[in-house]
Every structure is written in structure tokens, then in C-alpha cells.
Amino acid sequence: MIKLFHNWRHPRRCYVICGVARSGSNLLSDGLRETGRAGRPNQFFLPAFEAFFRERHGLADDIAFADYVRAMINGTATSNEVFGFKLMAWYLRDFLDRLKQTKAFGDPSDADLAVLLKAFPKLQFIRISRCDKLRQAISKARAAQTGLWKVQPGRTEEGPAEYNRELIDRSLREEEEEERVWDSFFSENALQQFRVEYEELCRSYEPTIRAVLTYLEISVRRRIKISQPVTKKQSDAISAEWERRYRAGE
């Protein structure tokens, strides 16, 4: 671990994918990761995932959070010194508070943005959202029941999903609340953001990934093909049936 931090240095640029549940952040991060030039974006700072990343990178269980942040940067930046990560709105406040409490990235009284930029130099913001809010809520309701949040080969459902209007209603409310969190964050900090729509990402996957890379000023040779995503859309006949029943007032 001593060697890891002795060799640590800030990457040339950082970016964060700002999303809410079922907005397509997995689809986007997978595409950026596959280029080999845009870091390896993941939810490194979601507390429930930290044990997994500590073990993967050989870090002590009691590592200080500031050192954990540095280890994720050091261990996942690509050779062109780009580091990317994901944040969901529901734990944004907790993440910012944890950064401040370390006192390693400024004073706890400093503005949120100042602390973020100290921890992640030249940070750029990619915001992904979904136009069809009902389908998004249906997707979240299904995932909450099945435990399958990322549809990939080898991953299976942990339990059955049944139509539940109250659960869909709650998912819709949570979506609205989380979008407001990002709206407030960007407005209060007067931040530029690059917007990605889930539906456009699905329709034009490679062009959308390349547009994000262009915004981030990350060069990828045109002849390098961006493969189709490993993560699959959850939407299917069940989603369509749940939508029909919801719109019918069931």
C-alpha cells in the first residue's frame, strides 16, 4: 500500500457520470470503459460497493476514505491519465460530506465544488437521464423485486417480479426527487454539464459514446470500433404489459 500511494499522482482529467436509478448509467459507463481511454467508471464511492473495490485492489478494510479515493484514482485511471466514476443522486450529499470530513481535500467549511475539484482535478460532468419516466419507474420496480439491476450474461433474477402500482408510483416520485437533486446541484454551482438521453444512447450507441469522448477531449481512433454493450435493456413484453395496466388505472 505504501508503494501505491508513493506513486500516486492526479490524473490529467476526471469526469463523473451523474445519474438516477435506471437512467442508463450502466450502459454509458460500459461503453466508455470499453474504449480503454476513458478510465473505468463505476460506483466506487457507493458505501455498499466499497468492500468489493477494497478487496479487488488489495486495500485494508480500515483504509481512510481519503486514501481510498486516491487508490481508486490510481488503480482505475487509464494509461492516458483519465479517471471516471459514477454518482447517483440519492447518495450525492453523503459522498460530499464524507469528502469534507477527511479534511484532505480542503476545509469542511469549503464549498462542495471546491472540495470536489481538489479531490478530482479538472472534473467534468456527464448527466444521463431518461425521457420516458414511466418506463424508467417500471424498470426500477422490477429491479427492486428481482435484485437484477444490470442485465448481463451470467446474471439471474433473485426473485419474481409482480405488477405493483404502488411500487411504480413510489419509483416515479423517487425519480422526480433525485432529478431535482441534480437540478439543484448544477444550478447552485453554475456548472456546465453534457447531457445524454438514454433513448438516444440506445438508438445511436456508438455515436453517443463518441460524442461524450469528444466533450471530454479524449481521443480515440476512428478505426477503433466501439462494441455493442454487454449490458442489455430490461424492457420487454413484461414492461409493456405493466405500462398498459398502469395507464389503464389498474
Higher pLDDT, 168 or 7: 168
pLDDT range class, residue 53, cuts 50, 70, 90: very high
One-letter amino acid of 7: N
pLDDT at 175: 95
- Give yes or no for residue 69 having a pLDDT over 80: yes
pLDDT range class, residue 3, cuts 50, 70, 90: very low
- Give yes or no for residue 19 having a pLDDT over 50: yes
Do 79 and 17 meet the contact criterion of CB atoms below 8 Å apart? Answer: no
Q: Per-residue pLDDT averaged across 27-35, rounded?
A: 93
Residue 125, φ and ψ in degrees, nearest 5: -120, 125
pLDDT range class, residue 235, cuts 50, 70, 90: low
3-class secondary structure, 83? strand
pLDDT at 23: 93
What is this structure's pTM? 0.89
Q: What is the mean pLDDT of the chain?
A: 89
- Give yes or no for residue 179 having a pLDDT over 80: yes
Q: How far apart are CA 193 and CA 44, in angstroms?
A: 21
Q: Per-residue pLDDT averaged across 214-233, rounded?
A: 76
What proportion of the chain, given as a percentage, has pLDDT over 90? 77
pLDDT at 200: 96
Q: How far apart are CA 146 and CA 193, in angstroms?
A: 33
Q: What b/e string do you get for 116-149 counting C-beta neighbours within 10 Å, with b at 16 or more? A: beebbeebbbbbbbbeeebbbbbbbbbbbbbebe
- Give yes or no for residue 11 having a pLDDT over 80: no
- Give yes or no for residue 9 having a pLDDT over 80: no
Do 37 and 94 meet the contact criterion of CB atoms below 8 Å apart? Answer: no
Lowest pLDDT segment from 41-45, 78-82, 117-121, 236-240: 236-240
Domains of the chain (ranges; CATH) run 2-132+190-233 (3.40.50.300)
pLDDT at 1: 41
pLDDT at 149: 63
pLDDT range class, residue 186, cuts 50, 70, 90: very high
196: β partners: 128
- Give yes or no for residue 138 having a pLDDT over 60: yes
pLDDT at 112: 96
Q: Per-residue pLDDT averaged across 180-208, rounded?
A: 96
Side-by-side strand order, sheet with 13-19: 82-88, 13-19, 123-129, 194-197
pLDDT range class, residue 153, cuts 50, 70, 90: low
- Give yes or no for residue 137 having a pLDDT over 60: yes
